[in-house]
Every structure is written in C-alpha cells, then in structure tokens.
Structure 1
Amino acid sequence: MDTILVVNAGSSSVKFQVFVVEGEGRLLRMIKGQVEGIGSRPRLRANGAGGDPMADRAYPIEAIPDVPAAMSVAGEWLRSEVRVNPLAVGHRVVHGGPDYERPVLVDHGVVSRLERFVALAPLHQPHNLAPIRSILANFPTVPQVACFDTAFHRTHGPLADHYAIPHQLHAEGVRRYGFHGLSYEYISRSLPQIAPDIAKRRVIVAHLGSGASMCAMKDGLSVESTMGFTALDGLPMGTRPGQLDPGVVLYLISEKGMAAAKVQEFLYRDCGLKGLSGVSNDMRELEASTDPQARLAVDYFAYRVGLNAGMLAAALQGLDAFVFTAGIGENSSGIRARVAEQLRWLGVTLDEAENARHSSLISGKNSLIPVYVIPTDEELMIAQHTLSLLMNGHSRNTRHKRVS
C-alpha cells in the first residue's frame, strides 16, 4: 500500500495525516492523528478515516520532551503497529521567504535557507523545520516536500508586494508575503466544483481561526492579503494583535523598556483576542461569555473582518462572492452573522436558517453577493503537492503568472 505522510508541527503538538495513493494519483485519507502536550502531558491520539479511534496513549513528560521525540513516537507507531512506510513526507512550512514560490523537495541546503526566516515566523518556523531535520537524520532516503503558506500569494503585483521603504530592504526580502496560502489554494481549487459561476471572478476568502487572515482572489489567484511581512499583521487573532501602528512597538521599547525578544513574545502570545478580552483566546469561550470585555473582543473581531473586506473589495475593484473557512469561519454561525452585518453596505444578506445549519451557501435569496462556507483542507493540499513532486521527481521553482 503506497502512502503519503503529512506533518504539521507546532510548539506543543505534531499533527499528522496519512493518505493512501490510489489509481491515477487519487488520495484517500486513511489516518488523522497528533501527538499533543509535548513537554507537559504528552499524548498520542489517532483516528481512522471514519473517525474510529486507533490510538489514545499517554506518556511521561520525559518520554516526549520535544518535537523530534514526538516524531519518533508517532513514526514508530505508524511503522510497527499500522504498517505504514510512506513513499514521502509532506510538511507545512509557514514561511518560504522570497526564495520559494512552489513546494520543493527538501535537502540540507533547503533547510539552511529556511532557517533564515525563523525570526519572521517564530511561533511556527522552528517547529515546522524540526521534524524535517529529524527525518533527514534518521531516514535520509525518504523524500520530503516543504509546502509553504506564503507561496500562493507570490502572484501579488508590485503594488501589493511592496512597503513604502527604501528599495534595498525590499530586495533583502522585507516585503508583504501573506500567509495561510495552503488554505486559500485549497479553496481556489474547490470553487470550480462548488460554485463554478464565481470561481474565476472576484472573491474574498476569510480564513478565520486562531490565526486569521483574508485573501482577495481573482481568476483563482491571490491579488491581495491582509497579512504581510510576518503573521502578525491584518486581522486580530487568538493571541496576535493584527494591524498595529509601528509606533506602538517603539513605545514598548522606549517607554516600557522592553527588549526586542520580550516585544516579540508579547505580540505573538499576549495580544489579540486574549489581550483585548482578558478572558480567553478561544472564540467559543468568548461568544459564550457575558463579560463585557469578551463581548468587546468578539465585536472587534467582526468589525475588523468587515473593515478588511472593504479594503480587499477595493483591491479587486468590486466583489462577486465571499467565502468563510477555517475553525471559526466554518463553525461559528454567530461570527458569520456579525460579519455579514458588517457587509450589508455591499448588499450582503444571510439566510438565518441556512447559516444556523452551516450550509455551503448561506446568503439570502436577495443578497447581491453570494456567501459560502467551505471547509478547508490544508493537509490534502500538502499531500497532493507531495505526490506531484514525487511523480515528477523534481521541483520547478518558477513564478506564477502575475495578476494584472
């Protein structure tokens, strides 16, 4: 049985999925699992394609102190008990910088180049690279593919790509990258089947989760994104502030005496919904809370989504459809309703019953803009890219066609 292993590693968990390669390159999800609580309360959980449990095991802290140890435990379980020996491993890597515009086969040189972007994605990049290094060290003949969250946005033209800073900094890589690209790419590929009439038109996709961003797409390609140089920009997120006057950072340094490392920790872990509410970074808890600050955080989130939708509609010079995706976008009918209210000026109305049912099409019959809910599948996107590179035997790191 030929399989592809997909790995998405974070600071405290390693999520993995196994896909079976069927005839004509079709992929069938076989296993979905994770090693969670790394360094605190390690636990291996895994389910089959139908949701049936396959593993649920606790481990002592010292058994899984870090990501490489988690990879070792998950890999041993897959090899010894499930008899999975993948053809290749695909990885989510948040930042590809200016170098990588396509998924790429990994070697030590690629890893070294990707290490340069750790400072631009400190919550993600080090942990994305850890399992790649582990597999390179222990299974050097297994092909690995890095799939980048920035790659989908490399179709941006120069007006969307630049900051108003000296060109030399842009040449060094200080530019607007955009993130969540694997999610947006999946939505772009899904639209021709779900909504063929608007698939190639002007579409805003809202990837709303603990990490949140929005993307303006035209002809299925990214034109503009709310995120920029790092994953701090744009919408407020679980623990990240989103759009922030750079003067705030200068104030924290000059007036509060915070060192750069402390400012980084603060912006990535103590702001966003968590900082604004003082209650939680989890939208489910905030929506259920009666605390006034929690209410403010929820209202602020919806308000900012509405503001950024206006910006993206301007970038597109109009709007033909709006799509919700990711954890909050797919599951919170309340947030969708609040955002739709922010978009009434565009002629958006919701069908309350369809929204409550989490239907695919949730806009009202008289809505000028159709509104969709489309579950994303970044892992399937990674598996498809991995299989494609495996079959082609090489990576073509060429530029997408630019959107004019």
Structure 2
Amino acid sequence: MTTQPSKTHLFGLNRQALTEWFVALGEKPFRAKQVMKWLYHERMLDFDQMTDLSKPLRALLHERAHCALPEIIADQIASDGTRKWVFRYPCGNSIETVFIPEDDRGTLCISSQAGCALACPFCSTAHEGFNRNLTSGEILAQVWLAKSLLGCGDNGKRVVTNVVLMGMGEPLVNFNNVIPATDIMMDDWGFGLSKRRVTLSTSGVVPAIKQLKEVTDLSLAVSLHAPNDALRDEIVPINKRYGLPALLEACQEYVAHNGQHGGVTWEYVMLRGVNDRLEHAKELAVLLKGIPGKINLIPFNPFPGSRFECSKRSDMLAFQRYLTKAGFIATIRKTRGEDIDAACGQLVGQVNDRSRRALKLSREQAEIA
C-alpha cells in the first residue's frame, strides 16, 4: 500500500521555506513569489484560479498543499467598533482574535497558542490552561481571515495597518512557528507590513529574546507589570526563572542590535493596591532609566474568578504624571472592546487544558477566598 504524502500548509512557509519547497518539487524558485502574490495580495486560495501557473503545477498543488482556514464560530462587534472573532481548529481548540479600529490605524491582535502555560494570575487566558502551540499557518490564517472579513476601507486603504502578538499565549514559547509567520507579515510578497507595525509581546523569555535579535527586527513589547523582582515573582511567575536584571539586559541587547531608536514598549497592568503606588512609579523610573522605550499603563480588565481590581483613575494619573516628569513617554491605554470581553487580558477562547493549569488556579483562588 502506497502512503500518500501529507499536505503542506502554505501559510506556514515564509518566502525562503516556500522557495525551498518548490525547488524540492522540481519547480523553479520564482514560483514562491508567484504563489505568495496570489495568497497574500490577491487573497486567492483556489489553486485553479492561479492562472499564471501551469495546469500540471496547479494539479501538483492540489495534491501536495493546502491553505486551510479555521472555522469562524463567533463574530462580535463592540459598541466602540472593536471586533472579536473566535476561530476553531479541527483539534477542537478555539482561539480569539481582535481588531481595534482607530482614526489613524487598524490594529489586529492575534494569538500564538491555544491557551497559555505561564499562569499570570491577572490574565484570563491563564485561567483556561494550555493545550498546544499554534502552527505558523494557524497564526497567519488569523491575519488572512481578518483582512478578508474586514475588506478595504475608504479609498482602498488597508484596514489592518498593525499586527500585535498580544492575544492568547506567549509568542516566544512558540518561537519556531511565530517567526516564519511574522516574516510573511513583513515580506513585500506577503502582507507588506513594516517592522514598526508588527509587535511581539513577551512576558520575558530571556533566551528567546536573545535569539530573536538574530533572526528579526520587529517591534518588541515586554509585559513588565512590576518594578522589582519580589513583586514580579508574584504576578508574572516566569520572573522566578528569568529575573529583571537578565530581562533588561536582553532587551537592551535587542534594541542595540537592531538599531531601534523607538526602543521597547513596556506594558504595565494597573492593579489596585498591588503595583500602582507612587513608590512603584519611582522604582520603575529607576529600573528603566537609560533604556529607550515607552511605558504603556494598562487598566486591569476584570474577568470571572479574578482576585484583582483595576487601579483608581486618580492613582493611574498620578503614576503617569510621575513617569512623565521623570522623562519617560507614559500613556494610559484606552480600554477597548470591554463589552464583548475583547479587552487586554480578557481573551479566553475554548481550550482543552492539558497542563491542569485551570484546575490549579481555581484551587489557588479558593484558598485565597
């Protein structure tokens, strides 16, 4: 009995990998650019409609390749125009993808894992546990689907101008799948986004940050959330493995290596009575002194089972004022999509938890109560 070769998901191949794939099939290297143009510029998934390819090649693509898309099981639009989709994969897991429209940009927040194993207690994704990494094709399919569902804006302007890997999961734990997907986002033959408009957010996987600088120069954001190791150990558990000195050193190396004058975006969720006092702002200013970047203060968005509350508006403003006077660019993020649970930290999807993380967190919550 002859075993049929498994089909390759073309969304999972960046230009170099797709070129190598075609060469291995006995085709010319330029076929990669041709197919990428059809997939990402023309948004065409039907191989039969790729008219500048020969009929034998189209038949070969049918035999050896696919461009599968997840099932859309929910499509919600918030009162502020934020749009959230729930995409389900054949394995049964569902992830969430969010589009945030603004006057001067349209930001798509995508997921890199089904769930998350890092267990940050202020994030609803962590309470769902973890199942698996998304493949490169599954990551990129979110961008492809969103662009197709949103269409073009007025005068043919691109609706999706920015992509941020800030959805479900820790991108740097899924390094080998995330990088090819971001390559295609920034490739002129792919989605053609500039490196300033593709942002990867990490909780601080230090070895992966060091590796990251060798393979890409996209924008880097760090989920910091605390100005010292003792507090960060409590609310960002990975800090127990990679503390602040190592994290800051890796970030400085990334910025210096890539010549990124904009520096790092430091994300700091505002938790009432936990990390929002003026003394924390002073510590933060000392910690980040001399590192190029900006500080994004994020109002905590509640979810069922959370023990945290959002900081008072007055405390957030005082925190921001101190950082601004200390010479930092510090902004308070406007909460978007809260009425459809699409705000930062609220994404959950439907995850078949293999890590038993959800059970552990529920027990911890019960002990606290």
The answer to whether TM tops 0.5 is no
TM-score (norm 1): 0.26
TM-score (norm 2): 0.28
Relative contact order higher in (CA < 8 Å, ≥ 6 apart): 2
